[in-house]
Chains A and B, each alone.
Chain A
Amino acid sequence: MADEITDIWVYLATSPLLSLTLTLVAYQIVLEVWTRIGRPALLNPVLASVLIIVAVLAATGTPYDTYFEGAQFIHFLLGPATVALAIPLYRQFERIRANKLAIAASLVTGSVTGIATGLGLGALLGLDRVSFVSLAPKSVTAPVAMGIVERIGGLPSLTAVLVIVTGIIGAALGPAALNAIGVTDAAARGMAMGVGSHGIGTARALQESEAAGAFSGLAMGLNALATAILVPLAFALFS
């Protein structure tokens, strides 16, 4: 009996379906609980799902690569979802066009602030060189951040994790921070979430309103471009 279970486990563990299902089930359980307790921003569903899955993988001795063979099908949909951000963008186009100057100004200051404070704090806290470099583009969407870090000599897989953690921090703490400093307008909130915490911030902004989501999606795309120019420039100038 125990042998049979082991056999079934060995078979399933090599099938992509197991980690695919694990990811969906963990997330839906988290979402259900999170909705019941009133969707507090502070308890981020991505973080909770990640922790559950890491615990399951650690308990079963499953390496990340095996997990990702199945989970990649979910990961893949990030691309099409990014394309789909054209929908809120189009619906809010009038409002975006009316605020071109404000978008440009907040993009540039926000992007510079993100890079400068990240590197400044990293240096201040004595991060080692690899962590320091890998941290630089943390506020932009993972594929771009990884591409940037590759060019300046960091560790792309570490960057991917720092990017996700940045997104979770922004989604969890950003709305409260914006409340505290009196930023109430949906467009300004969305812009801030998108520049500071890319797609995870955008997912959170979309939960606030479609307008916030549209500005956040736009900000995320623009900041990917700004950061891809600014980070290599900063490293060329200062190191």
Chain B
Amino acid sequence: MLRALTAIFACQLVGEALVAASGLPMPGPVIGMALLFGFFVARGGIPAPIASVGDGLLGNLSVLFVPAGVGIMQHAARISSEGVQLGGALVGSTLVTIGVTGLVMKFFMKPDGRAKRKRTDHG
């Protein structure tokens, strides 16, 4: 578990460093995701400990957004004055965005069926 955590943290750290050095408009962890992905490709599989730590984190992904969400209390004044307009803009825009993205993806996608699932290896 420790080695898996170290690998994940190291990918993020290198990602953050690359972003800081290059000024790329990307979050460090997204670069870290690409690095870890590259590692899996090079290795031809996902080491079992990384799969188990990663699946644990992703299985509880929702809770990780709670602390930032509580930050809404800092904007109580703005929300009482503009909450309805903000909410309306967010609901409308988010639904249209999700709908348009889904429809365009559906339109251009190849018929499914030959999707193969890669296996986790045990290294």
Contact = CB atoms under 8 A, between A and B. Distances in A.
B67 A91 contact: no
How many residues of B sit at the interface, in one of the four size bands? 35 or more
Given A24-B63, A64-B70, A74-B66, A87 B102 contact: no
Contacts of B51: 87
B101 A173 contact: no
Interface residues of A, number: 117
Interface string A130-150: 010001001101111001100
Contacts of B71: 64, 68, 157, 160-161, 164
B27 A143 contact: yes
Contacts of B69: 46-47, 49-50, 161, 164-165, 168
B33 A82 contact: yes
Interface in B60-75: 61-75
A110 B27 contact: no
Contact of A78 (B64, B85, B110): B64
Contacts of B118: 90-94
A85 B58 contact: yes
B1 interface: no
A5 interface: no
Contacts of A220: 30
Given A110-B100, A192-B99, A197 B94 contact: yes
Contact of B68 (A138, A139, A160): A160
A27 B12 CA distance: 26
A114 B104 CA distance: 14
A181 B106 CA distance: 11
Given A92-B118, A160-B71, 7 more contacts: A50-B70, A68-B67, A81-B61, A86-B40, A105-B104, A167-B65, A195-B101
Interface of B: 5, 8-9, 11-12, 15, 25-30, 32-37, 39-41, 46, 50-51, 53-55, 57-59, 61-75, 78, 82, 85-110, 112, 114-118, 120
